Structure 1
């Protein structure tokens, strides 16, 4: 009358297999009334699975209750780890000590990168300076064209007769700016307690600066020698003292002897000897240039008109010798500066370059003042100069005729 599965549940151990349960059920069912109490295999299987899931759930709750304290302690230990230990564990592979070769290579790479950045910065600054200089030169050329002072290259009255001359003028302007910077360094070096070795480096740098302008003039003489001889790259006052495209070394030595006192007796003798040798070389070059000019006059004016083409060919060949005179004159100027540095002490040589730079700076300033003087003064000065010149001519003619 009562169902038989509660009795089978009590006799079935936990965790038993399904096959064992089924065999037990079959044995009991054979002893009871099989026609009426027999259960279907599907109901038996469902009842076993339900009770098995119930006991599994109970066992899982017990295990979770026993593992909760252990999990909390583990989490506390992991949270108690310091950030230093975590970082140490994460970067333990990268904290190996580096050998000397690797450190040296890293230092070299950093230094190379630093120099590369400096070179890039200097190159950008040089490009910017060149762009500004070119813009300034274009503005000056445009202003000269508007004033009628510039005609096509090679034309009459042109200030710049060739591209080589224009390039020389631009490079010479840069050279003057660099000279001002070097003069400032020399002044600071003389005022500061620098050693003689440091001053020697500065003086050699200034001497190398003059060597640069002589090399530039040698290149320009091949393209436009008349631009150098006429002194179009200098100021108006400087052209009064121009000698074959530059200064006279003997005049420069005379000025330095007066400005560099006191000098030792041996130094004074050396300076006078250098001036005497410079004067002899200047006279030889001047005589050679005069002979070239006379020969050029004889070539152009001496032959018949029918031989005019041949005359021009010969005259062109003689004009080519002007490049040699400019080169020899610059060589004499360059040797004079080097000889002065050998005769003087390092601090005297520094003062020597400062005196030379200030002298030509004053000549350029005088030219600027002369060009910017008021127009009224310009007219009155021209009248006075014309009157003075006429009086001198009259007196000279009277003296000349009175001698007969």
Structure 2
């Protein structure tokens, strides 16, 4: 960096004292510059022979001292750089070990005993998760059941359309049946199929002399089967109560014994008494008491229905006939809502009667009771089918014979009357 100083000392061979004096006269400033130049030159070429010849004897010790200081500085710098690199690598390794230490810390934390509040919260979270899974499973099952039911309804609808029985196949309504009533008819048709299956199971179980536990399962299935029927009727009553009361969803023979859209509980008990022998004295008293209470409830409901009908007649017939009776019709519609209540109460009476019979009778007696009920209504439906499918030629012959007999009975007195004259 400063080549003038070594070159000058090199070009003055003869006067060491002169050069020494000049160096002495130059002062501290020159010494400072010389030391800086020598230090820089030592950084580049510490072992250069030219620098050794150019330096004087007075400056050798000074230069040697500064060289040692420089080397120490260099050593310190290298040590500092090594320390920084070592620290960086240690930080990286520490960063890599941090997740492991964290996991170890978490493991050590989990091993520590938890307090009661944390345990309670964990238990609540597990219970909530379990209930959520159960709700999800139930929802999926409900969707699957709805899909199967919809497919069955579509099949029943297609079958009824192919048979020409859908929307107006019964009665003189001419297709004015409501959608709720049509839905109930399809559900009732499927209920009848299940009823045949339950009746067959009861018959097979009684013939095979099954144990009481096995028979109890079949009887409980029959009770649940009738409960499903009453739920279907409750929904249908809200949609079209007249459809239930008229009994167009039943067979023609069943409609002869229909009471408020179903069977009379007292008459059903009267029919069952002769089929359930032997009965204990306590069972006989319980059945007769049930029959008496059912008969009283039937009379009360029948009187209420008659009063409602009379009130409807009075409401519709009231007022002048010229104005169309719009006000009377509105009042009649309000009273018709009570008709649904009567049908619901009648179904509740029927349902309670079946459950009371189940509690009074033993398992085998209850199985025989529900078998008799199923066989009875099955025979009524079979009788209706036989009546509807009887030969038409026989019907026409019977009609002609009846008409001829009537004509003869009417004409014969007139001939006698005229012959007397």
Which TM class, normalised by the smaller chain length?
Answer: 0.5 to 0.7
Describe the shift of the 1:150–1:236 C-alpha distance in structure 2 as closer, same or farther (beyond 3 A). Answer: closer
Shift of 1:376: 1.8
Question: Quick one: which of 351, 359, 366 aligns to 1:349?
Answer: 366
Question: How many equivalent residue pairs?
Answer: 271
Please give the alpha-carbon distance, in whole angstroms, between the structure 2 residues aligned to 1:278 and 1:388: 46
Shift of 1:130: 5.6
In the alignment, does 2:201 pair up with 1:185? yes
Please give the alpha-carbon distance, in whole angstroms, between the structure 2 residues aligned to 1:373 and 1:247: 27
TM-score (norm 2): 0.58
Describe the shift of the 1:261–1:138 C-alpha distance in structure 2 as closer, same or farther (beyond 3 A). Answer: same
Describe the shift of the 1:303–1:141 C-alpha distance in structure 2 as closer, same or farther (beyond 3 A). Answer: farther
Matched with 1:279 is 295
> Cα deviation per residue 1:107-151 (whole Å; 9 max; x = unaligned)?
xxxxxxxxx9xx99xx69x967864653343343454379x9559
Q: Which runs of 4+ in 1 moved over 3 A?
A: 126-133, 141-146, 148-151, 380-391
Matched with 2:111 is none
Secondary structure of the 1:320 match is helix
Question: Quick one: which of 144, 155, 160 aligns to 1:140?
Answer: 160
Secondary structure of the 2:173 match is coil
Shift of 1:388: 9.4
Contact 1:168 1:216 in 2 (8 A): yes
Contact 2:168 2:177 in 1 (8 A): no
Q: Structure 1 unaligned segments of length 5 or more: list them.
A: 1-115, 392-404
Matched with 1:4 is none
Shift of 1:385: 6.7
Describe the shift of the 1:309–1:208 C-alpha distance in structure 2 as closer, same or farther (beyond 3 A). Answer: same
Please give the alpha-carbon distance, in whole angstroms, between the structure 1 residues aligned to 2:250 and 2:176: 13
Describe the shift of the 1:356–1:308 C-alpha distance in structure 2 as closer, same or farther (beyond 3 A). Answer: same
In the alignment, does 2:241 pair up with 1:241? no
Which of 223-232 and 264-273 deviates more? 264-273
Structure of larger gyration radius: 2
Shift of 1:378: 2.0
Secondary structure of the 1:242 match is coil
Question: Quick one: which of 199, 205, 218 aligns to 2:215?
Answer: 199
Q: Structure 2 unaligned segments of length 5 or more: list them.
A: 1-136, 409-421
Please give the alpha-carbon distance, in whole angstroms, between the structure 1 residues aligned to 2:198 and 2:252: 24
Describe the shift of the 1:271–1:150 C-alpha distance in structure 2 as closer, same or farther (beyond 3 A). Answer: closer
Please give the alpha-carbon distance, in whole angstroms, between the structure 1 residues aligned to 2:343 and 2:294: 15
